[in-house]
Structure 1
Amino acid sequence: MERIMVIGVSAGVGKSTFARRLGDNLNIEVHHLDTFYWRHGWVEAPLEDFISSQKEVLSHDKWIMEGN
């Protein structure tokens, strides 16, 4: 397993915690969709930026991504 997506339905169900622990155990960097989607002050990122950030991660050989 080198490309892992952790998906959940709502906030607070443990996605981030699980992804962090999995990343620590597998030595794979974890990326949180919230950090791509939300800018400072809870302002939504433009769709193009959100998609571009995800594509950049997907170009790597190993990753864990988590979000809704």
Structure 2
Amino acid sequence: MQRVLVIGPCGSGKSTLARELAPRMGLPLVHMDQLGWQAGWIETEKAELHARLADAVSQDEWLIEGNYGSTLAPRLERADMVIYLDFPIRLCLWRLVKRIITNRGQSRPDMPEGCPERFDPAFFWYVMNWNTGPRVRTEAMLAGYKGTLIRLANPRELAEWRKANNLG
């Protein structure tokens, strides 16, 4: 596999998995949050985001993690494999709370510098409503995907998949 996507609800562990898989697979890692945000939690302009993504996707090899539904189509067009962490939202929300507490005031490795972890009620609401909005749109886009789709429903399935594929 030369072009791999890791997607799923926020808090599912996309960034963590991607940071572990990219070096094992020998692929350069692209975090969508690093493309989509600038210091101070300033959103990248849509045209610039799409240009940054087009540059990344045009490469022969990559592992891109993150959802950003409006940018999923061009990534799916070139991806050989999609790893979909289709985890329960309750688990994702719990992981978000842990992440906020653990990283509060610090920028995570998958974020640009100057974007310290914080509690954002609108973001939490977005995740709470994943199954009725973003999930529906993601599923619709995946319906036409022609590459390898690995759908993992929980951390146990992820661990079993990694073990079966000698990925940790």
- Indicate yes or no: 2:52 matched with 1:53: yes
Task: Look up the match of 1:31.
Answer: 30
- Indicate yes or no: 2:42 matched with 1:40: no
Specify which structure has the higher proportion of helix.
2
Letter of the structure 2 residue corresponding to residue 13 of structure 1: S
Task: Look up the match of 1:6.
Answer: 6
Task: Look up the match of 1:21.
Answer: 20
Measured after TM superposition, the shift of residue 30 of structure 1 is 0.6
Greater radius of gyration (CA): 2
Specify which structure has the higher proportion of strand.
1
Letter of the structure 2 residue corresponding to residue 9 of structure 1: P
Q: Looking at both structures, which has the greater relative contact order when contacts are Cα pairs under 8 Å and sequence separation is at least 6?
A: 1
Large movers: runs of 4+ above 2 Å: none
Letter of the structure 2 residue corresponding to residue 44 of structure 1: E
- Percent of residue pairs bearing the same amino acid type: 37
Local SS of the residue matching 1:61: coil
Task: Look up the match of 2:108.
Answer: none
CA RMSD of aligned residues (A): 0.8
Measured after TM superposition, the shift of residue 26 of structure 1 is 1.0
Unaligned runs of at least 5 residues, structure 1: none
Unaligned runs of at least 5 residues, structure 2: 68-168
For 2:20 and 2:34, the matched residues in 1 are separated by 18
